Structure 1
């Protein structure tokens, strides 16, 4: 056997061993916004006739609307599948009697990292919800006594659980940007948003969490809503892929601060595994090479919308009168101008699981 063949055999056996190693997460607890809400906004009744409660939302996988802001499954759903767990039930379904044995999803569409008072004090009154990260954390605390009876049983339960802290923080910036705030002005918010996320992460560790994943923000400069609302006549405002450079630079700045804050948390809690999820890097891979990833419909134009250069029309958003969904969402990465398609979320979830977009990889969890 020559050296090349021997190398390939060893590589194959190594990969096979790595993929066959069992993972023992027994539950998932998720906090966040519409990127991972699996039904809380819909169940809350906060909106009388929410479009996410009807087709075409949910058309791809579930064949009916579930309250997810996509055509199908989200990142959190693919992670649950990877560990052979049921889809994580929304908190409000658990409150109505659904089992929390394998975790709870506290994410709420429209949620912010900062409390609602921060925005009201600054006359930012377009919030979808008051259910901020702090509120979600308190929901977890209220539910904790139903999950485990004492510190010992809680520690045992939570050390076998994955805690997803976000993505959250994107709405804090969205609300401010959409009301005319500039990148330089909004930079002053970043330490506050990052602080809220790291404080919640720290609080969960104090509650017994031992395995946590904290995502950064997506490249908002490639999002159809930003490309539509902030369309510029200046070509130099766009990168070679058609994304708005200033907004992507802002997202990268937020992410750099999150990573620094997580490094400090790792020093404070050396016994805990804190993973950073690089949503930005994962998404930019298919923005850079859409055809390679099967996105023949594009990555900047929404699958579902009411027309315009990016198929995003604020007067005819996806699900509203005047909008229409594409026939095949799997060839688009953008679903409704704000959220991604199931196909895009699947790619990002796999990148987290195999480690190409997570530091350290989700699959490297020690047994």
Structure 2
């Protein structure tokens, strides 16, 4: 009897030691809730994949029915609902980002969004708001908010933080997200050859590095950088591509375009590694959006999605009808989107639906597709 009791005591003691070891190890690795990063703000740079209202505010280019699945009205987003950046802000318990150029109803206390639909890393292309200009806007924003913050502090008319302005110390503690590069490739595919696009990649990424260094010099320290997705899987590119035998994969994606996107991503990852070595006070997380998106596309049927080419709003078959544009063709008015956007990976032929964005966001925010493999809540360590 005594021996059995002794065995039981030893077993409980070993279990206690093991649990204590696991808890301590978890805390050292930054996995406990108490050791999560606290980001006072997010500053985002990119294209339409993360534009929360700049194109709408500047060009009124994002019309209804965009936003119907979540916001209920025009949200400035090229989707039926939330974008990946919206799910990132939700994960970090921060408000949705106001577009920098959207003057109506904006609040910049918790960051700002400089992304613009159509933007590229290099000047030219589909939009004048290239990455370098977005960074210049950020520098201007930072300078002006610091001046206004100090004025409010000196006048003491109201607490500066209640004015919708970030505190000067917030900029070095903020998260800097970058999701851009797709349009550099897309514009090249439309206006040059695939070989020229491939040769342009080093120069494109050199300009991205310059932009990151500018942000670093302004105090940015935590970077979350997305690579570019499988551009050859977008229906718009499928319908505008001259099909050749063997150039489509099992999912109907254009293989040459995806191959160049993968080459872009490989060099981008190398560039991020270079920045880690040069900017020693910064933390960089490289996020494999290509893999996250392509896995979703490959498993579309099992996730309840219809065919990839069957997008929800607009059309590229026979006649080009942009989402939100009213067209009368053969007496039929073509304007309304599909009845169930959540069954479609692609919303309008180019941009992802809210449900697809949500599933992709769930994949990336926990670190499964990141280098290093850390959750976004631990990217500052």
Instruction: Quote the residue 1:226 is aligned against.
Output: 237
* Cα offsets for 1:131-177 (capped at 9, x unmatched): 11111111111111233369xx9873123211012x21211221221
Rate the CA distance shift 1:241–1:327 in 2: closer, same or farther, 3 A.
same
Residues 8-27 of structure 1 mapped to structure 2, 5 A cutoff:
18=31, 20-21=33-34, 22-27=36-41
Q: Select which of 244, 250, 265 maps to 2:275.
A: 265
Partners of 1:136 and 1:39 in 2: CA distance: 14
Q: Which blocks of at least 5 consecutive residues in structure 2 are unaligned?
A: 1-7, 150-165, 328-333
Cα drift, residue 261 of structure 1: 0.6
Q: Select which of 317, 320, 341 maps to 1:315.
A: 320
* Cα offsets for 1:192-232 (capped at 9, x unmatched): 21111111111111110010111111101111011111151
Cα drift, residue 277 of structure 1: 1.5
Cα drift, residue 58 of structure 1: 0.4
Instruction: Quote the residue 1:124 is aligned against.
Output: none
Instruction: Quote the residue 1:303 is aligned against.
Output: 312
The reply to whether residue 177 of structure 1 matches residue 182 of structure 2 is no
Instruction: Quote the residue 2:262 is aligned against.
Output: 252
Instruction: Quote the residue 1:239 is aligned against.
Output: 249
Partners of 1:59 and 1:15 in 2: CA distance: 41
Rate the CA distance shift 1:62–1:218 in 2: closer, same or farther, 3 A.
same
Partners of 1:86 and 1:350 in 2: CA distance: 18
Are the counterparts in 2 of residues 286 and 299 from structure 1 also a CA contact under 8 Å? no
Are the counterparts in 2 of residues 306 and 323 from structure 1 also a CA contact under 8 Å? no
Q: Select which of 109, 112, 125 maps to 1:104.
A: 112
Cα drift, residue 69 of structure 1: 0.4
Partners of 1:19 and 1:230 in 2: CA distance: 48
Q: Select which of 123, 127, 130 maps to 2:128.
A: 130
Instruction: Quote the residue 1:122 is aligned against.
Output: none
* Cα offsets for 1:88-127 (capped at 9, x unmatched): 100013x5573311000011111121113xx5xxxxxxx3
Instruction: Quote the residue 1:349 is aligned against.
Output: 361
Cα drift, residue 287 of structure 1: 1.4
Cα drift, residue 363 of structure 1: 2.9
Are the counterparts in 2 of residues 100 and 147 from structure 1 also a CA contact under 8 Å? no
The reply to whether residue 74 of structure 1 matches residue 88 of structure 2 is no
* Cα offsets for 1:330-366 (capped at 9, x unmatched): 1211111101011111122222210012223223235
The reply to whether residue 205 of structure 1 matches residue 216 of structure 2 is yes
Secondary structure (helix, strand or coil) at the match of 2:187 reads: helix
Partners of 2:338 and 2:183 in 1: CA distance: 26
Instruction: Quote the residue 2:292 is aligned against.
Output: 282
Partners of 2:119 and 2:139 in 1: CA distance: 18
Are the counterparts in 1 of residues 188 and 194 from structure 2 also a CA contact under 8 Å? no
Q: Flag the structure with larger Rg.
A: 2
Partners of 2:371 and 2:310 in 1: CA distance: 30
Instruction: Quote the residue 2:154 is aligned against.
Output: none
Partners of 1:291 and 1:68 in 2: CA distance: 26
Are the counterparts in 1 of residues 63 and 324 from structure 2 also a CA contact under 8 Å? no
Instruction: Quote the residue 2:161 is aligned against.
Output: none
Residues 110-149 of structure 1 mapped to structure 2, 5 A cutoff:
110-116=118-124, 127=126, 129-148=127-146
User: Aligned pairs, how many?
Assistant: 338
* Cα offsets for 1:239-279 (capped at 9, x unmatched): 12221111100100110111001100000112211111211
Instruction: Quote the residue 2:157 is aligned against.
Output: none
Partners of 2:44 and 2:108 in 1: CA distance: 12
Secondary structure (helix, strand or coil) at the match of 1:260 reads: helix
Q: Which blocks of at least 5 consecutive residues in structure 1 are unaligned?
A: 120-126
Partners of 2:362 and 2:296 in 1: CA distance: 13
Cα drift, residue 307 of structure 1: 6.0
Are the counterparts in 2 of residues 154 and 208 from structure 1 also a CA contact under 8 Å? no
Are the counterparts in 2 of residues 298 and 331 from structure 1 also a CA contact under 8 Å? no
Secondary structure (helix, strand or coil) at the match of 1:298 reads: coil
Using structure 1 for the length normalisation, give the TM-score.
0.84
Report the RMSD for the aligned CA atoms in angstroms: 2.8
Secondary structure (helix, strand or coil) at the match of 1:334 reads: coil
